[in-house]
Structure 1
Amino acid sequence: MAAWKKQNVFLLVFVLQFLSIHGAKILTICFIGGSHYLLMDQISRILHNNGHEVRMFLQFGEGMLPGYKPPPSPYQVTTYSLDEKYLQEFMDIFLENQKEFLKGRRGVQSVLTFLKELSYQCNITLHQSEIINFLKEEHYDIAVVDAFNPCTFLVSEKLGLPFIAFFPGIMANADRVGMPVPLSYVPLFQTQLSDQMDFFGRLKNTLMFLGSFVVQKMIDSTFDGVIEEHFPAESRPNIPDLHLKAELWLYNIDFTLEFPRPLLPHVQYIGGLLAKPVKPLSQELEDFISDSGDSGFIVVTLGSMLSSLPLMDFLKEMNDGLAKIQQKVIWRYQRSKWPQEVEIPPNVKIMDWLSQNDLLGHPKMRLLVTHGGMNSLLEAVYHGVPVLGIPLFGDQYENMARVKARQMGTFIPPEQLKADNFASTIQHVIENKSYKISAMKLQTIRRSQPFPPDQQLVRWVDHIIQSGGGGHLHPYSYKQPWYQQWLLDVLLFIFVSLAVVIYIIVTLFRALIRKLCSAGKLKRN
C-alpha cells in the first residue's frame, strides 16, 4: 500500500513537472529575412510541435526569400511590413553591397551601413504601438530572439520579457557573451585563422582582439538614437548589458566544423536544425539527374537572399566555368532575372528555388557550390558532401576557413573567380577523394552525437522555463566590474607591494652603505 502511494506521488510530481514545462507561451522574434527567417521558422515549429503555444513577431517584406513558397504555419504569426518606398531604397542599398562583395570589397563600413538600416527599421518597429501593446497583453513566458539583430533585444526589453538569444552563425560575439577567449588557439571573427596558429597568426589574432573593442563600440552606437527615443532616461538599456541579460545563448554551429573552445554553461551549440533525412525529389529533377550517369551532379546556390547575380562579368565567368565540367548542374537562380544574351549550358538547370537538403542527400550528389552560409555547410556535413565556397560577406569567409581546415573543401574569393579556375577547382574537389573522405568522417561525427539539435533546443528551452530563468548558469563575472574581471586591482596591488618592498630594500641598503662609509671615515681619522 505504501509502495502504491509512493508511486502515485511520483506520478503526480511528474505530471506537475510536465504541465509546468509544456504549454508555455513563447514569442519568437525575427526581423531579417533569408536564412534568419528559415531558422526562426524552424525553431518556432519545433517548439510548437512540442506542446508550446508559439507566436512569431515577424517583419515581412525585406526580400524575405525570393522564389520560396513556405508551407502553412502551424503557429501564430504577427506581421507588419515596412513602407514600400523605403523597402525599395533598402533593396537598392543591398544590391549595391552585393556588387561590392562580388568584387571582393568588404569592410567595417559596409557592416555599419547595414546596421544603421537595421536601426532605422527598429525605430519603425518600436513605433508599432498597437502591435507592441497587443503582445504585452498576451503575457508571454519567454521570448526566443534572432540575436544577430540588436533590435530583437530592445523589443524584448520593451515587452518586459526574459529572452533566449539564438545566434545564426559562429560565435562572433564571444567576448560580449562573457566567454573566455584564449587568443593562442581561439581564432577571432574576421581573422580567417584556424586554431593552429603560428607566431604571426597569434599576433594577428591579438591585434584583432584589441581592435574589436573600437569596432564594437561603433556598432553599438548605431542604436543609441533608438534607445534614447523609446526608453525613459532612468531605465535605458544598452546593447552590451542586453547581451549579458539573455537567459541562454544558443548558436547555430557544431563542433564538426567549429574549433574546440571553452564554453560557459549558458552557451550551447545546436547547429544543424535545417539538416534532416531526405524527401523524394520531383520526377522532373530525377529525370535530369538520371541523365548524369556516373559523373553525377552538383548544386550551385549563393544563399537564400542572393537569387541572382547583379554583375554581368561575374555571372558569365560562373556560367562559362559550369559549361566546362562533365557533371550536371542544378543552379538556384531567379529565371526572370537571367539575362537573355547569356546562353544557359546544356548541362545546367536553372531553378527559382530548390530543396537543397533533399538534393544533398541524393546518391549522385558530388559537390555543393555555396556562398558559405552556416545552414548550407551543416546540411553538407549531415549528408557527407564536399564543398566549394565562394564567400561574399559576413561570417562566410570564417565558415569557409573552417571547412578548409577540416579538409572538407576549399574556396575561391569572388574577385579571383574565372571560368577556368572555377571549372578546374570543381573537378579537383570532386576527383580528389580526400575531400569526400573528410566529409563522410564529419558526417559520422555529426550523426553519432547523443542528441539531435531539435531535442537540444526543446530540452534547453524547457529547462529555462522550468527553472524560472538561466541565472544559475551565468558566471559571477557578469556582476564584476571590468577591472576585477581582468584582475587589474590585483595586479595593481602586487605592483604597489613590490614597489614598496623594493623601495624599503633600496632605502635600507643605502642607509647601510652610508653607515659603513661613515664608520670607515671615522676609523681612518
Structure 2
Amino acid sequence: MAGARNLLILILLLMLHAHCPQGAKILTICLVGGSHYLLMDDVSRILQDNGHEVRMFRQIGDGTLPGYKMPSTPYPVSTYSLDEKTLKEFDKFFTEYQKEFFMGKAGFQFFINLMNVFANQCRISMNQTDILDFLKKEQYDIAIIDAFNPCTFFISEKLGIPYISIFSGNIGNAIAVGLPSPPSYVPTFASQLTDRMNFMERLKNTLMYIGSYIAENSVQAIFNDIAERHFPADSRPSLSDLYHKAELWIYNVDFSIEFARPLLPHILCIGGLRAKPANPVSQDLEDYIAESAESGFIMVTLGSMLSSIPRMDLVKEINSAFAKIPQKVIWRYKASDWPEGLEVAPNVRLLDWVAQNDLLGHPKIRLLVTHGGMNSMMEAVYHGVPVLGIPLFGDQFNNLIRVKAKRMGEYIPATEIMAENFADAIRNIVGNKSYKTSVMKQSVILRSHPFPPDKQLLGWVEHIIQSGGGGHLRPYSYQQPWYQQFLLDVILFLSACVAAIIYLILRVMRGLIHFIFSNRKQKQN
C-alpha cells in the first residue's frame, strides 16, 4: 500500500514539474520611454517574479518620463544612450510637436516624422555591437518586445531570438499584422468611428481602410535601409515579414473598452497589466483630499511624457474652469513650468508626478481628466472612474471615441476648450450618475476575467516557450500572396467563367435567331 502511495506521489510530482517549467531566459526590449517603458517594466517584473531569468535591453536618455523617480529593478538591464546630437534633435522634435498636439495639428505627418526619428535611432541601436554580441551569446529562449518601435523587430531578428510583440495601445496596426478587419463594423484606425456606422460612415471607413494599406507601406519603407545594411541579401527581412513572424501579438486593451471584433489565435487582448489594487497615498495628500469633504477630488494628467502645457492661453482656461467647481483638483503639472503671473486656482494642487493608479483607487475620486492613453484608460476602467478626455495624438482619439460610445465619459478637443464649457463638462460627468454606472459595469467586465492579466501574460509566454513557438497559432494567410488572400484569382476565374457562359448563351441565341429568321424567309420565298 505504501509503495502504491509513493508511486502516486511520484506521478503527481512529475505532472506538476511538467506544468511548471524551469525558469526560462527572457530578454525584454524597450526603445521608447514614457508609458511604453512603464508597461515593459511591469511585463519584466511579472516574468522575473515568477521564476524566469529576465534582462531588459533598453535605450535611455530620451527624457520622456519627466518627474518620475526610477525605482530599482529586480532584473538586470543592458542600456545604451543616444549621442548628444541625436538627443538634442529628439528633444527639439518632441518640443515642437507638443505645440502641434494642443493646436489639433498632429496628424499622420507627425507619425511619419516620428517613424523617421525611430529609424535614425535604430541605426544607432543596431551599431551597439558590444551589447548585441553579449546578448546573442546569452542564448535567450524568447524576447518580449515593445512593438510600437519597429526597430525592436530588427534587433530580435539580428539576435536570432524568437519574439512576442506587445503593443501598448489598441489594435491600431491590424492591417500590418494581417488581422481580419471588416470595414462594415470594425473602425479603421484614426477614423474616429464606432462599430455602429450608417451608410456614409461605412463609406468613409471603407475608403480609409483602403488608404491604410498605402499608409502602412509608407511607414514600412522608412526602415528598408535598416534591413539592407544589417542583413545579407539572401536573408533580408522586410518589416512585414517580421510582423508576421511574431509568435504572439499581445495588445494592452480589453473588450471592456474595445469594440468586439474578429481575432486570430495568436492575437491576444490582455489589458490592464498596470491596473492593480491601490496603495495608500501619502499622508500629506490624504490630508489635502480630506478637505474636499463630500465633493471629492478630480485628477488631471496628460500622460507620462507631458508634464506641462505649452499654450499659456489653454492653461488659463483650464485653471479658470477648475476654480468654478467644488472638487479639489490634483494636477500633474511641473511647477517650474507654470506661467508667471498666473495664480493657481485655490482648489488646485500641482504635483510633478502622481501615483495615478493609487489615486484612481481612492474612494473620494470623482473624475479623471486625461489625454486618453491606453494605460490611463485601463486603470480608469479597473477602478470604475469616469473620464473627461483631451485627446492629443496617436490612438488617444480612438480610445476616447470608445469611452464616449460606452458612456464612460466625454472628451473635448484641446482647440475647443474654454473655461465655461470645460467646467460644464466636469459638472455634467460628476453630477450624472449614469457615467459612473456605465464605467462600473465595464469595471466588472474587466475584473471578472477567469484569469487576471498578469496570469494571462505569464501563461501564454510559458506556453510559447514549452511548445517551441507559436507556429500552430499563426494562419496560413501569412504565407499567401495578397491576391490569394483577397481571392482575386478566384474572383477573376469565376468572372471569366461567367463571361464565357454569357458569351456562349449570346452566341447560341444569336444562332437561333438567325436560324428562325432564315427559315421564315425561305418559306416566304
SS of the residue aligned with 1:243?
helix
CA offsets per residue over residues 452-498 of structure 1, 9 Å max, x none? Answer: 10000000000000000000011111121111111111111111111
Residue 363 of structure 1: aligned partner: 363
For the residues of structure 2 that align with 1:408 and 1:522, how far apart are their CA atoms? Answer: 84
3-state SS, counterpart of residue 472 of structure 2: helix
Question: More deviation in 124-133 or 86-95?
Answer: 86-95
Letter in 2 for 1:440: M
Structure-2 separation of matches of 1:477 and 1:239: 17
- 1:168-247 counterparts in 2 under 5 A? 168-247=168-247
1:340 Cα deviation after fit = 2.7
Would the aligned equivalents of 2:175 and 2:212 in 1 still touch at CA under 8 Å? Answer: no
- Partners of 1:87 and 1:321 lie apart in 2 by 36
1:113-166 CA-partner distances (Å, limit 9, x unpaired): 111000000000001111111111110011000011100001001101110000
TM-score (norm: length of structure 1) = 0.98
What pairs with 1:44-55 in structure 2 (closer than 5 Å)?
44-55=44-55
Equivalent pair of 1:308/1:337 in contact (CA under 8 Å): yes
Instruction: Measure how far apart 1:64 and its partner are.
Output: 3.4
Question: Which residue does the alignment assign to 1:485?
Answer: 485
Shift of 1:336: 2.0
Partner AA of 1:193 in structure 2: L
Residue number in structure 1 paired with 2:16 = 14
Confirm whether residue 337 of structure 1 aligns to residue 344 of structure 2: no
How far residue 3 of structure 1 moved from its aligned partner, in angstroms, is 6.9
Alpha-carbon separation, structure 2, partners of 1:109 and 1:244: 26
Q: Aligned letter for 2:162?
A: P
User: Contact conserved, 1:22 with 1:50, CA < 8 A, in 2?
Assistant: no
What pairs with 1:498-509 in structure 2 (closer than 5 Å)? 498-509=498-509
Identify which range, 452-461 or 234-243, moves more after superposition: 234-243
Q: Runs in 1 of length 4+ with deviation above 6 angstroms?
A: none
1:391 to 2:370 alignment = no
3-state SS of paired residue (1:102): helix
Q: How many Å separate the matches in 2 of 1:3 and 1:514? A: 95
Distance in 1 (alpha carbons) for counterparts of 2:177 and 2:219: 16
Q: Distance in 1 between matches of 2:5 and 2:157?
A: 49
What displacement does 1:10 show?
4.5
CA contact (8 A) 2:176 2:216 kept: no
Secondary structure at the aligned position of 1:472 is classed as coil
Q: Which amino acid aligns with 1:423?
A: A
Amino acid at match of 1:266: H
TM-score normalized by structure 2?
Answer: 0.98
Q: 2:77 is matched with which residue?
A: 77
Does structure 2 conserve the Cα–Cα contact (< 8 Å) formed by 1:390 and 1:414? yes
For structure 2, the residue ranges without an aligned partner over 5 or more in a row are none
SS in 2 for 1:56: strand
- Paired with 1:16 and 1:421, the residues of 2 have a C-alpha distance of 60
For 2:463 and 2:451, how far apart are their aligned partners in 1?
A: 15
| One-letter amino acid of the structure 2 residue matched with residue 454 of structure 1 | D
- d(CA) in 2 for partners of 1:76, 1:439: 38
Deviation at 1:217, TM superposition (A): 1.1
What is the alpha-carbon distance in structure 2 between the residues aligned to residue 466 and residue 7 of structure 1? 24
| Matching of residue 318 in structure 1 with residue 309 in structure 2 | no
The C-alpha deviation readout for 1:190-243, integer Å capped at 9, x for no partner, is: 011111111111111101001111111111111112222222222111111111
SS of structure 2 residue aligned to 1:369 = strand
User: What is the letter of the counterpart of residue 330 of structure 1?
Assistant: I
AA in 2 matched with 1:337? D
Q: Which consecutive unaligned segments of at least 5 residues does structure 1 have?
A: none
Q: Distance in 1 between matches of 2:347 and 2:505?
A: 85
Quick one: distance in 2 between partners of 1:239 and 1:373?
Answer: 26
2:357 partner SS: helix
Q: Which residue pairs with 1:57 in the alignment?
A: 57
1:519 Cα shift? 2.0
For residues 183 and 106 of structure 1, the distance between their equivalents in structure 2, rounded to whole angstroms, comes to: 25
Structure 2 distance, partners of 1:83, 1:316, is 37
The match for 1:42 is: 42
Letter in 1 for 2:191: T
The one-letter amino acid paired with 2:365 is M
Taking the aligned partners of 1:16 and 1:292, their CA distance within structure 2 comes to 55
Per the TM alignment, residue 345 of structure 1 is displaced from its structure 2 partner at its CA by: 1.4
Contact 2:296 2:366 in 1 (8 A): yes
Q: Determine the structure 2 residue equivalent to 1:92.
A: 92
- Partner of residue 109, structure 1: 109
